Structure 1
């Protein structure tokens, strides 16, 4: 069971071998690509969704938040269910839920059905993501684990590169519901690979599942998200902001009280945060992915709404960013196993900061190659340096039997950062014309500040050439 966290080592290898690691990697890539593609493809479709359904800025936000909220709130529950009932079984359940929800979004093109379907995708993603990465972690060890995680990250980046372009073309050719059809065959492929090629893995003990913790965390994040959404649209004086914030804070306090009482049986054992190195990892993840999530939401929207880009072109111009991650992540995953994570997790976010500041040169009449392209390239280089080391270092920090728990925590952390960033974007999404560029520039400064804080966290929070280790008893 988890005990106190130690900062002496940040992530000693404890991985065991699982049969057919190549098939496990293929399955993990297929399954985890579902939420990755879903996030990037819908960003390109947002202007069409808003126009076709006559949605307000707040309703447009919920087309995004309806997916991200349950994904962030339930990832820890998904990891706990995988540890207890079997990671393969829970992953397959999540894939089925995700596929059915995608069909709902595709076949019932109304705002209500879209929000319900997006929420279903979030639930499915919360079940499949932590088990996907935990199975991958258990099938590889040592430097091979770093390379596998790098390949997993690069495959996600490549799918993220193709998805906006494909999504833009689908929106222009067949309408926005068609982007959700793209997810159905991928769901079938992921399910088939898990069914035929991956062995079941579960934690040896039979600890009770922390449903009360999951419920309180979900309500807490919902309250905070509602408060930020209402605040971005109506200002801090809105009674809905105050009521939602109070609900969120209260339920998060209840969540931490439950987790403290449950101890080792908690959904998110507080012992995971016993060392500064562990806390630094999670703070860095939250800040970096929050900045990235905001940029990937607002930039395509800006290009379509105020710069005259078509959805296809908006998807195409984003491609340099994920392509660079796709090529760079496998190299950095293996390198970080040899040199440690402190340097890449400091330099990477710092480069992202520079790329975000370059985005301040984007304007209504600026040329793509001299404004948008350089910013995306620099951001892509920074993320390529940071993504694989961050993921592999987190997964190497625990015993294999708790890989699902830590995978869920790390994914929940990154998704929560993106969730809060999207919730704060409502005021920007409600603007148009030149005013939209003004809101974009303000958001860019906030994103750059978050990325810079992530760089400082990596440098001062992580020890050189060392990895954090969770002690188990």
Structure 2
């Protein structure tokens, strides 16, 4: 396993880690807490809405804005790592995140909760997550070692998202929903301490230009698209207008970066990132995986609490099935990677996930048991656990070291956009009428999206490195 030396003159240099675990543990924990933050609020819907005098839609809005801020700022966050250094951005992101978590814990109303959780935690995540993937790629240069490292990080991310409802439910029922944000701040503090032994493998480049115009266009376009989806239930014409405007802004963004390249300037993203067919398909599968994971998490949690009347802890316990499935599949990720190609793993993952959603739907009518949702959730967890790591590895391994900042930011932006779309799309279908019919309709939408992911997976090359 190759560990790159710390360059002389790096402002973030420090003692070289004595073991790979000292690098991997804080990076995996960082992914865990960010994924946890995206799903743990799902079991607090009733508690937060009562305490802050808001509605299910208000809590959905806070969750979606958090995920959207991450998606909108992840690409700029990836570029900033080159300019200021990966270690420095990691610590800065953790600090902003911790402040947001503490502010959320003390929130007197929905507005302050959105500021702390949705804005500050979202900005912090956009700063800290790209360094996680860049540092992993730089430290683990062998394909097998990199697959193992990404497997651990994606396992922690998936477990954070899947176990968020259980951990959040336990904390909310035992203490309060505010204590869940204090828990996040404590984990972040632990990560800061653990990350002291991480040395930045490459020096920062303070003079490197930053494409502010491209960053603004990219962020505004993503915000408009997701906002359009959220507005669908209230005003169809407004939603259509926002979606159309978002598409136009994104088209303007691509024209902008092409013009920057033609002029010899450095754009926010190189257009070469979009010419790699294998990477494009990998990015699409990442987006759809997180869309399904967060969509299922929000829909099932909202249905169990609002329609079935479950409390936070009972809802969280039901989600242990998804956590168990995801953990089991993630622990076997290294063994799977040695025996099967990424294409096979991603294809299998989508097939199992769609079957899990179908099972969830088939058993949804059984109102006599709290465990009717567990077989489907278990299958969904297994399916997602099988394919999260190979999708990331396909994308990261498609580009050389000098483009890792760009592709890491793009990869995480695409994944977090999937998370925000999952909550927005499935949540919009569900909250239109919180009843069994809307619950079934939301699951059918997610199953159809899973089928689209299966098609994309079948188009991946049969072997790593083929394009």
Question: In structure 2, what is the equivalent of residue 137 of structure 1?
Answer: 137
1:150-178 CA-partner distances (Å, limit 9, x unpaired) = 12222233444543223112222333222
The within-5 A match list for 1:146-295 is 146-194=147-195, 196-202=196-202, 207-231=208-232, 233-237=233-237, 240-263=238-261, 265-295=266-296
Aligned-pair distance for 1:378?
1.0
* In structure 2, C-alpha distance between the alignment counterparts of 1:211 and 1:66, rounded to whole Å: 22
Distance 1:119 1:364, change over 3 A: farther
For residues 72 and 448 of structure 1, do their structure 2 counterparts lie closer, same or farther at Cα, with a shift above 3 Å needed? same
- Bigger drift between 121-130 and 246-255 goes to 246-255
Relative CO higher for 1 or 2, CA cutoff 8 Å, sep ≥ 6? 1
SS in 2 for 1:265: coil
| 1:7-406 → structure 2 map (5 Å cutoff) | 17=4, 19-20=16-17, 21-117=20-116, 118-140=118-140, 141-194=142-195, 196-202=196-202, 207-231=208-232, 233-237=233-237, 240-263=238-261, 265-336=266-337, 339-360=340-361, 361-363=363-365, 365-369=367-371, 371-406=372-407
CA–CA distance in structure 1, aligned partners of residues 346 and 228 of structure 2: 31
Change (3 A) 1:166 1:380: closer
- Structure 1 unmatched runs, 5+: 1-12
Contact in 1 for aligned 2:34/2:157 (Cα 8 Å): no
Assess if the C-alpha contact under 8 Å between 2:72 and 2:222 holds in 1.
yes
2:81, 2:204 within 8 Å by CA — same for their partners in 1?
Answer: no
In structure 1, C-alpha distance between the alignment counterparts of 2:154 and 2:422, rounded to whole Å: 22
Q: Map residues 429-448 of structure 1 onto 2, 5 A cutoff.
A: 429-432=431-434, 436-448=435-447
Mapping for residues 407-418 of structure 1, pairs under 5 Å? 407-418=408-419
Aligned to 1:6: none
Deviations 1:327-369 (A, max 9, x none): 3224224532553211111111111011011111213614244
Matched, 1:426 2:428: yes
After the TM superposition, which of the residue ranges 177-186 and 44-53 deviates more from structure 2? 44-53
* 1:60 CA displacement: 2.5
Counterparts in 2 of 1:337 and 1:396: CA distance versus 1, 3 Å: farther
Residue pair 2:349, 2:383 contacting (<8 A) in 1 also: yes
Cα deviation, residue 245, structure 1: 2.8
For 2:22 and 2:356, the matched residues in 1 are separated by 36
Residue by residue over 1:17-54, the C-alpha shift from the partner in whole angstroms, topping out at 9 and shown as x without a partner, is: 46532211011012222211111211111222223323
CA contact (8 A) 1:320 1:377 kept: yes
- CA distance in 1 between counterparts of 2:290 and 2:32 reads 17
TM-score normalised per structure 2: 0.90
Distance in 1 (alpha carbons) for counterparts of 2:92 and 2:212: 18
The structure-2 alpha-carbon separation of the partners of 1:178 and 1:364, relative to structure 1 and needing over 3 Å to count, comes to farther
Alpha-carbon distance, 1:144 to partner: 1.4
Unpaired runs of at least 5, structure 2 = 6-15
Assess if the C-alpha contact under 8 Å between 1:88 and 1:198 holds in 2: yes
**In the alignment, what sits opposite 2:12?**
none
Change (3 A) 1:347 1:325: same
Provide the rounded CA distance (Å) in 2 between the counterparts of 1:423 and 1:381: 24
**Contact in 2 for aligned 1:84/1:202 (Cα 8 Å):** no
Distance in 1 between residues matched to 2:272 and 2:443, nearest whole Å? 35
Give the superposition deviation at 1:57: 4.4
State the superposition RMSD in angstroms: 2.2
CA distance 1:62–1:344, shift in 2 (3 Å): same
How far 1:137 moved relative to its partner?
2.0
